[in-house]
Structure 1
């Protein structure tokens, strides 16, 4: 990430997970993307803001850096939280994925993430 888009969130990260959907595979160039959620309330963009585009029409938008094109975040229409790619954070070393979205789309050699969520909710 080039650092043109930065953000601050006052809350602790929630629902760290991997996603194996076809969109994440294609956008990342790998078998998964790793995401963590934060409430939208209190989110402050610093510097430039992401350029948004839909990956699931009228449902999910992705935000990318307007300078380098890095995939930064995802936001469902009407959601109260936003998901950031682990690599968009200054420090993601303490984050451990608690579940895997779209496990049915995962490549066959990928070991599934054991679901350790206290509830069934992901980013919403």
Structure 2
């Protein structure tokens, strides 16, 4: 199966929220805002275009690391699988764009970052406790 990956550059628009699924996988979700900038030659200045919002989902270790590393307003580069969803609610049609993240990183064109390799203990923080072993 062929998959198309897209890369979106923008700013974190909502605080990343993490939850653990019943199977024990971490899922972190947040909104990413991206605004186009164009040079307006008539005004001789840069202007903002429309803003697009994407719901980003990061699973497993990526989700855990995003929750620990990313905050509201920070500039990011997100690569992932794009899904466009259409639904109708109360007679109105809604379209939403979702990215299932494959890679997430800070936009180093706008700041500096330091990489810290995660340990397995960080992922264990989000894992539910194991059931006690049966005694026979």
TM-score of the alignment, normalized to the shorter chain, above 0.5: no
Higher gyration radius (CA)? 2
Q: Which of the pair has the greater relative contact order for Cα pairs under 8 Å at 6+ separation?
A: 1
